[in-house]
Structure 1
Amino acid sequence: MEIANTVSASKITLSELMLPSHSNFSGKIHGGYLLRLMDQIAFACASKYSGSYCVTASVDTVDFLNPVHIGELVTLKASVNYVGNTSMVVGIRVTSEQIQTGVIKHCNSSYFTMVAKDDKGNNVKVPKLILSNIDEVRRFYDSVNRLENKKRYKELEHTFDYHSKEAIDGLESFNVVIAEKLKGKI
């Protein structure tokens, strides 16, 4: 019998009040501190889903949409959006709430790829993912698209000739200056 688990079985919510010790000099919370919280919830979510110890394999784009201030309540929500054989993509949404006014703002969203491990550090198979509603189907397909785009980008990286005259000439449309000694080597 194959083991399967629901998306809802993976869901985790974490809330924390932002303190002065979490902030930078302008009174905003360090992005690195938020990333630490995101990594913690990704671990908890993936471990809860898989029943295994999990490690972070990669973090997809993290766009900081709105700053978080001292005194705000930050809430992170995570769920498994995609599973492979031994890996899971955990979607994370971060919001902050100004406690006195109740105003909530979306701070960022990100996707952590987590890998399940056994006690010896070997990869282990994760349960299949049961998709129960159209949002879960959308999130699964969004993850598939991100993974395919990542694979295409890596293939392009391996085949692109950075030494070609076309590559160097193509840089002129960016905010760079090509040193004459570099132009002479092409």
Structure 2
Amino acid sequence: MEAKPCIHSLTVKNSHVLPPDTNSHGTLFGGKLMAYMDDVAAIASTRHARTPVVTASTDSVDFLAPVQEGSTICLEAFVTWTHNTSMEVFVKAITENLLTGERHVCTTAFLTMVAIDENGKPTQVPSVYPESEEEKWLHEGAKERADYRKKRREESKTLAEKFGADFPWDPTSNRKA
């Protein structure tokens, strides 16, 4: 497979923030923003791999600025790094007040997407290479982030084993009821 530049997966999505998208504070629901982020990450990674993808993980999502009703939300995503069947996708969300032109980055995150074949099994992806200084900076830190994700995934598996799928459990005794 031939390596591709990061920019070839660039995906940009704009949405107008309407009342059904907002909470009681008149700001965009965090879950709605996360859904937008997952969508652009899926498009960017599919564009890179040219095969269907699934979301494997989302790194920390910190809400840096509110997104007000009536403003827009612009999401930008591109593949920053690949490893066998997975792709790290950087997503940046910017809110803009259309009347004043004021813009703020409201969140950034990394999502890990896995390419799948027609049987739903992970499949190989092309490697990616950075060209701009920002892409190089993201690419250089990707292996460390991937190692951290791997450790975090193991911790999540431990939690899943400890708490299991059965309900109810008694949180005061830390034992199943």
TM over 0.5: yes
- Indicate the residue corresponding to 1:169 in structure 2: none
How large is the RMSD of aligned CA atoms in angstroms? 2.1
- Indicate the residue corresponding to 1:131 in structure 2: 130
- How far apart, CA to CA, are the structure 2 residues paired with 1:156 and 1:23? 33
State the 1:56 CA deviation: 0.3
- Indicate the residue corresponding to 2:20 in structure 1: 21
Residues 27-42 of structure 1: matches in 2 within 5 Å?
Answer: 27-42=26-41
1:133-157 per-residue CA deviation (whole Å, 9 max, x = no partner) reads: 3322211122222122334556788
- Indicate the residue corresponding to 2:2 in structure 1: 3
Provide closer, same or farther for how the CA distance between residues 44 and 154 of structure 1 changes in structure 2, counting only shifts above 3 A: closer
1:50-105 per-residue CA deviation (whole Å, 9 max, x = no partner) reads: 00000000000000111111000100000101100000000000010000000001
- How far apart, CA to CA, are the structure 2 residues paired with 1:123 and 1:105? 37
- Residue 80 of structure 2 contacts residue 130 of structure 2 at CA under 8 Å; is this kept in 1? no
Q: Find the residue that maps to 2:144 and give its secondary structure.
A: helix
- Indicate the residue corresponding to 2:115 in structure 1: 116
In structure 2, list runs of 5 or more residues that go unmatched: 159-171
Matched, 1:81 2:80: yes
Matched, 1:92 2:85: no
1:60 alignment partner AA: D
Larger radius of gyration: 1
In structure 1, list runs of 5 or more residues that go unmatched: 160-178
- How far apart, CA to CA, are the structure 1 residues paired with 2:157 and 2:57? 19
1:43 alignment partner AA: A
Q: Find the residue that maps to 2:80 and give its secondary structure.
A: strand
State the 1:44 CA deviation: 0.3
Provide the TM-score with structure 1 as the length reference.
0.80
- Residue 81 of structure 2 contacts residue 127 of structure 2 at CA under 8 Å; is this kept in 1? no
State the 1:130 CA deviation: 2.2
1:83-130 per-residue CA deviation (whole Å, 9 max, x = no partner) reads: 000000000000100000000011000111000011110111101112
Identity %: 30
State the 1:158 CA deviation: 9.3
- How far apart, CA to CA, are the structure 2 residues paired with 1:145 and 1:93? 20
- How far apart, CA to CA, are the structure 2 residues paired with 1:155 and 1:113? 15
- Indicate the residue corresponding to 1:63 in structure 2: 62
| Aligned length, in residue pairs | 161
Q: Find the residue that maps to 1:3 and give its secondary structure.
A: coil
